[in-house]
Amino acid sequence: MTSRIVVIGPGAIGLCVGAALMAGGHEVTFFARQPFSTLAVGRKGQVAQVVAARVVTALDQLRASDWVFSCVKAHQVASVAEALRAAIGPRTQLAILQNGVEHLENVSPFVPANTVCVPVMVDMPATRQRPGIAEWGPHARASVPAGPAGEAFCALLAGSFLASNIRDDWRSQAWRKLCVNAPAGAILALTGQPMGVFHRPGIADLARAILAECIAVGRAEGAVLEDGILATQMHDFMTADPEAGNSMYEDWRAGRETEWNARNGVILRKGAAHGVATPVSAIVVPLLAAQHTGAPR
Ligand SMILES: NC(=O)C1=CN([C@@H]2O[C@H](COP(=O)(O)OP(=O)(O)OC[C@H]3O[C@@H](n4cnc5c(N)ncnc54)[C@H](OP(=O)(O)O)[C@@H]3O)[C@@H](O)[C@H]2O)C=CC1
Ligand SMILES: CC(C)(CO)C(=O)C(=O)O
């Protein structure tokens, strides 16, 4: 069945998930600040097919839809509040594609109280080259909580390149992803270097300390994080492509505000709520927060 879907925030993730939905025959409308007329999304290193894109830039062009996919960064949700309200009707389901663990908290002040919301953990390295043009790879995975809305989300993307699944313990999955994002995002944004920086003196120890705090706070929040996660995640960091970046690093390079609060501040905030000491995050978070200058580097 074809669904009418509004994608708010056609950035790296929004363009890629919009392309996956369009490939499945769904009617996708992008709500954007910058107009574009075509969509070219492909796997990294492969030629992307160019298709026409339906793009609106004004609130009065939005109508209540079957689905809204919020693909803005965590700190940008407030800025799309009017778009969310314009696109959400009584039967609309809202998918929140974000990193971090506060998907529902981030949107709840801006959507009708009874909106069916689906928090989405996205594991799809993606970059946007220009409006309408993005690439993803090497993998594209998403997971959502169990339930009818999660099932419906997965059905929208069935057969697409974005492999989506239900996770009974979705919260643990979101914290497991944060164990990737919190150390790597902070280290790359603070050093201004890609993943190879992890081999520079002292950097692995700093990453390990941030990771250990993330694990401790996640467990205090009820996430089930396996005993070996610290060693496994550190191994993944140390064996990553040295030229690989991440979205926090790309924001830093572009002079955009990073998701420091959703990905590192959250460890500080939730650690304090549980009485879990997070001394390294307490140093890293102010440094990340102070970075935003608005000027590309
Ligand atoms: N990129 C990646 O590899 C991954 C990202 N994620 C997560 O997914 C989420 C989205 O990230 P990503 O796609 O990389 O971010 P991007 O910065 O690429 O995209 C954000 C989009 O939101 C748009 N936007 C922001 N504010 C507004 C507004 N007021 N009105 C309309 N559009 C607006 C931006 O528009 P404009 O172009 O005008 O700035 C941009 O198109 C984040 O939480 C991120 O951490 C998760 C996994 C991987
Ligand atoms: C880990 C990675 C790169 C891909 O999922 C990511 O989450 C990001 O860039 O924000």
Q: Which ligand is nearest to the CA of 258?
A: 1
Which pair of tokens denotes residue 34? 């910058």
Q: Which of 41, 71, 127 to mutate to test the pocket of ligand 1 (most atoms within 8 A of CB)?
A: 71
pLDDT tens digit sequence for 204-262: 999 999 999 999 999 999 999 999 999 999 999 999 999 999 999 999 999 999 999 99
Widest Cα–Cα separation across the chain: 55
CA distance 295 to 291: 10
- Report the nearest-CA residue for atom 4 of ligand 2: 125
Whole-angstrom distance, CA of residue 98 vs CA of residue 163: 16
State the complex-level ipTM.
0.98
User: Is 177 one of the annotated active-site residues of the chain?
Assistant: yes
User: pLDDT tens digits for the chain (297 residues)?
Assistant: 899 999 999 999 999 999 999 999 999 999 999 999 999 999 999 999 999 999 999 999 999 999 999 999 999 999 999 999 999 999 999 999 999 999 999 999 999 999 999 999 999 999 999 999 999 999 999 999 999 999 999 999 999 999 999 999 999 999 999 999 999 999 999 999 999 999 999 999 999 999 999 999 999 999 999 999 999 999 999 999 999 999 999 999 999 999 999 999 999 999 999 999 999 999 999 999 998 876 777
What pTM value is reported for the model? 0.97
pLDDT digits (tens, 9 = 90+) for 234-248: 999 999 999 999 999
Mutate to test the pocket of ligand 2, among 120, 136, 173, 181 (most ligand atoms within 8 A of CB): 181
Q: Which of 44, 73, 177, 270 is catalytic?
A: 177
Question: Cα(169)–Cα(216) distance, rounded to whole angstroms?
Answer: 17
Q: How many residues in the chain?
A: 297
140 lines ligand 1 (CB under 6 A): no
Tell me if 17 CB under 6 Å of ligand 1: no
Query: Measured between alpha carbons, how far is 36 from 54 in angstroms, rounded to an integer?
Result: 8
State the burial class of residue 228 (Cβ atoms within 10 Å of its Cβ: 0-12, 13-18, 19+).
exposed
